[in-house]
């Protein structure tokens, strides 16, 4: 925690409301924790879509993904559903990942293949730096970041355990060739079925590119 808080203080990031991070061009997609999905379902369910790149596809061509993402408004700008005139329409109740961004706790290989912690997203590509961040603020940010990453990994593990049991019970198996074939069909505009994991169960969606 102290190491992450130290990184946060050293970077001294401050948001300048450029809104880059709320677009697909800058960040692939906004993945939601189950608790965020429950809240958005209550006020704007149309904002949800199955997260991209499903983990599995069974022998019948049905995809399985570990959760939902926030829909983007259009293909050109890839703006978040809630971004309007460069401002977040739901800022006071924005999602967990939006609250901690750009901080993260990922272990990733660098360009030389060395695996180390990555604690910041998009360094020098957005915001401003060298702001003074107090000990208390940096520790709060570190705590929230760890809490998010922990919740994210817990959700992923639960999904994998659920799929193991579900596939065993229904005699399903992941087939990479079927996966690839159906991705091609999807890219050609055909409809596909995606089962989205949410709160310990699967929710079915028919989607088209
Ligand atoms: S919910 Fe708000 S803060 Fe989060 S990505 Fe969308 S516009 Fe940005």
H or E segment to which residue 57 belongs:
strand 56-57
Tell me, in angstroms, the distance from the centre of ligand 1 to residue 168's CA.
38
Minimum-distance ligand 1 atom for the alpha carbon of 83 = 7
Does residue 100 line the site of ligand 1, with CB under 6 A? no
Tell me, in angstroms, the distance from the centre of ligand 1 to residue 96's CA.
10
**Whether pTM exceeds 0.85:** yes
Tell me, in angstroms, the distance from the centre of ligand 1 to residue 29's CA.
11
Work out the number of other CB atoms within 10 angstroms of the CB of residue 90: 17
Nearest to 57 by CA among 162, 182, 209: 182
- Per-residue pLDDT for the chain (209 aa), expressed as one digit of tens each? 999 999 999 999 999 999 999 998 888 889 999 999 999 999 999 999 999 999 999 999 999 999 999 999 877 778 999 999 999 999 999 999 999 999 999 888 888 999 988 899 988 899 999 899 999 999 999 999 999 999 999 999 999 999 999 999 999 999 999 999 999 999 999 999 999 999 999 999 999 98
Work out the number of other CB atoms within 10 angstroms of the CB of residue 28: 12
């Amino acid at each position: 925690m102290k190491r992450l808080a130290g990184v946060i203080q050293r970077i001294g990031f401050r948001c300048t409301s450029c809104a880059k991070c709320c677009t697909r061009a800058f960040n692939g997609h906004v993945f939601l924790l189950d608790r965020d999905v429950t809240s958005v379902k209550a006020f704007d369910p149309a904002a949800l879509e199955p997260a991209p790149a499903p983990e599995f596809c069974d022998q019948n061509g049905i995809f399985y993904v570990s959760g939902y993402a926030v829909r983007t408004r259009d293909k050109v700008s890839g703006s978040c559903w809630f971004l309007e005139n460069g401002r977040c329409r739901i800022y006071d109740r924005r999602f967990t990942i939006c609250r901690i961004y750009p901080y993260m706790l990922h272990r990733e290989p660098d360009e030389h293949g060395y695996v180390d912690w990555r604690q910041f997203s998009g360094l020098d590509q957005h915001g401003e730096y060298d702001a003074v961040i107090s000990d208390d603020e940096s520790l709060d940010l570190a705590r929230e970041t760890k809490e998010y990453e922990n919740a994210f990994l817990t959700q992923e593990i639960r999904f994998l355990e659920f799929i193991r049991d579900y596939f065993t019970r229904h005699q399903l198996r992941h087939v990479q060739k079927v996966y690839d074939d159906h991705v091609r069909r999807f890219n050609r505009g055909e409809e596909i079925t995606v089962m989205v994991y949410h709160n310990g169960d699967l929710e079915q969606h028919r989607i088209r590119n």
